[in-house]
């Protein structure tokens, strides 16, 4: 009777970020096997090592084919059967561990907040001026109250309050806390952007022959 072969299940994420130049298989994908020794050996196998000249950059990117990973596994364990449930092509991104002092990071955040605040304020004022919100308020107040509107009324106050509340509700964030468990619009757009970037990297690597694939 033929001996039953061990089955190894692998699941690769589309994009993995690592801070160590020596990339192991467990750093970029999940591995499952009933034989713990085989599973541990595969997880700790080196997939790729970024060279010293590459690590001098802030960010390095390599594209791999799952067939390349399967070929590496079968080279060490020829009697196993490898089943992939993840991505067929995936991106491994090396990012050097941040060494900037904490005060510098705080300064960047403060500057970024100021820029966003001033930019958002200018955009809102430009929009209000473009659609003549002031004139609309003047006419609305005159129709309801029968007299000319003063410079500042309840309309402006509630408009500003409603605008702020609407922004918080739309972006689903109040400080570090989320109002609901749903992903925020920014998170959704960032995931779409990351997916498009990864697809572009994979396609470009395939066309230029830079993808790590089987011969």
34 pLDDT higher than 70: yes
CA distances, 156 to each of 60, 76, 124, 169, 180 (Å) = 51, 72, 14, 20, 29
Percent of the chain with pLDDT over 70: 93
1 pLDDT higher than 50: no
Average pLDDT estimate for 21-48: 91
DSSP 71-87: HHHHHH-TT-EEEE-S-
Q: Determine the Cα–Cα distance for residues 101 and 7; give it in Å rounded to an integer.
A: 47
Indicate the pLDDT class of residue 19, thresholds 50, 70 and 90.
confident
Of the listed ranges 50-54, 112-116, 120-124, 182-186, the least confidently predicted one is 50-54
Sign of the Cα pseudo-torsion (59, 64, 66, 70, in order): negative
Determine the pLDDT at residue 168: 80
Of the listed ranges 5-9, 45-49, 168-172, the least confidently predicted one is 168-172
Please give the mean pLDDT across all residues of the chain: 84
Is 215 within 8 Å of 67 (Cβ atoms)? no
Task: Give the three-state DSSP class for 38.
Answer: helix
Indicate the pLDDT class of residue 26, thresholds 50, 70 and 90.
very high
Backbone angles phi, psi at 20, to 5 degrees: -105, 130
Decide the pairing of beta strands 46-49 and 22-24. antiparallel
pTM value is: 0.68
Determine the pLDDT at residue 2: 46
Q: Determine the Cα–Cα distance for residues 163 and 116; give it in Å rounded to an integer.
A: 16
User: What does the buried/exposed string (b/e) look like for 175-186 if buried means 16 or more CB atoms within 10 Å of the residue's CB?
Assistant: eeeeeeeeeeee
- Token representation of residue 29: 């994908």
Indicate the pLDDT class of residue 198, thresholds 50, 70 and 90.
confident
Indicate the pLDDT class of residue 99, thresholds 50, 70 and 90.
low
Average pLDDT estimate for 89-98: 83
């Amino acid at each position: 009777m033929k001996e039953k072969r061990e089955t190894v299940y692998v699941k690769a994420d589309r994009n993995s970020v690592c801070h160590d130049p020596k990339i192991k298989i467990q750093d970029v994908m999940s591995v499952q096997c009933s034989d713990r020794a085989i599973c541990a050996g595969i997880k700790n196998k080196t997939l790729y090592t970024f060279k010293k000249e590459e690590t001098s950059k802030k960010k390095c990117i390599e594209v791999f084919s799952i067939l390349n990973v399967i070929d590496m596994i079968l080279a060490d364990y020829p009697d196993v059967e490898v089943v992939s449930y993840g991505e067929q092509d995936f991106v491994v991104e090396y990012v050097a561990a941040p060494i900037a002092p904490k005060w510098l990071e705080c300064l960047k955040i403060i500057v970024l907040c100021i820029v966003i605040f001033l930019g958002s304020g200018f955009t809102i004022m430009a929009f209000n001026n473009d659609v003549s919100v002031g004139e609309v308020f003047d006419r609305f107040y005159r129709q309801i109250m029968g007299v000319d509107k003063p410079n500042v009324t309840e309309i402006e106050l509630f408009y500003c309050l409603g605008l702020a509340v609407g922004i918080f509700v739309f972006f689903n964030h109040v400080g570090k806390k989320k109002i609901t468990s749903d992903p925020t619009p920014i998170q959704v757009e960032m995931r779409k952007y990351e997916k498009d970037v990864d697809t572009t990297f994979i396609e470009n690597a395939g066309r230029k022959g830079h993808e790590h694939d089987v011969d």
